[in-house]
Amino acid sequence: MLPIISKLYCRGGETEFVVRMRPHAVYGGGLVVTDCSSHKVVFRVDGCGVLGKRDELILRDADSVPLLLMRRKGAGFVEALCFNKVWKGYRLDQLEASGSVVKKQLVFSLKESSSSSSSSCFISKGGGPIRITTQPRSFSNKSWDFEIKGYFPDKCCSILDCQGNVVGITKELETFKDVYHVVVNPGIDQAFVFGVIAILDYIYGESTICPS
């Protein structure tokens, strides 16, 4: 599998991470991702409470350098009718010193199903899969490259490629409500996986969404 964000985040072995949801009240929400073997933070996600912008997320590396910008399209009247909404993931190739984006490249699109969103008309564990298309397209004869199966709020879901191979999985930790594990398989772009997880967190109204 080719890297989607960067080959720097494609490891040769299976890697397990701990994901901690930051509280809105203190840190403005978002996610912190720690490698279980090194105990070092590898990614951070800034959500609406940090950025002050609805339907926008940023994935950063351990040094807080922005890697991926994620924006949701299809709000307003379309959202009210519960049509599918689409997230666009842009790799950030160049930024100004102020943090303003100079150059970005579309690397994937994620289409919400009508039953996935916490604000949709149909909230169900049995809804259709959320599907992801990468740019440039893979050689798959399907209209999508990855899909989400399971129910993310229960932290029991998998990211699968178009051939049915598991890319990454989430696992609930019963001890802590705001902490869970993510296992990423060998050769998979970990930055891409956590970009997808950040979007799922927002869709289901967890730590990256704007506080009410």
The reported pLDDT for the residue numbered 114 is 63
The reported pLDDT for the residue numbered 102 is 59
Contacts of 174 (CB under 8 A, 6+ apart): none
Tokens encoding 70: 């994620």
**Tens-digit pLDDT profile for residues 197-212:** 999 999 999 999 988 7
Beta strands in the chain (DSSP E): 15-21, 31-35, 41-46, 56-61, 66-73, 86-95, 101-111, 130-134, 146-151, 156-161, 166-172, 179-184
**pTM of structure:** 0.87
Compare 95 and 211 and report the one with higher pLDDT.
211
List C-alpha distances in Å: 6 to 11, 36, 72, 92, 156.
11, 21, 22, 11, 27
Handedness of CA 182, 36, 43, 146 (dihedral sign): negative
The reported pLDDT for the residue numbered 104 is 86
The reported pLDDT for the residue numbered 136 is 78
Provide the residue ranges of all domains of the chain, joining segments of one domain with +: 14-120+127-203
The reported pLDDT for the residue numbered 127 is 59
pLDDT greater than 90 at residue 46: yes
CA angle 104, 158, 42 (to 5 degrees): 50
pLDDT band, residue 101 (cuts 50/70/90): low
Give the total residue count for the chain. Answer: 212
Average pLDDT over residues 180-187: 96
What would be the CATH architecture of the domain defined by 14-120+127-203? Beta Barrel (2.40)
Strand partners, 32: 20, 44
pLDDT greater than 90 at residue 175: no
Average pLDDT over residues 121-133: 64
**Tens-digit pLDDT profile for residues 5-29:** 999 999 999 999 999 999 998 889 9
pLDDT greater than 50 at residue 59: yes
Average pLDDT over residues 55-70: 94
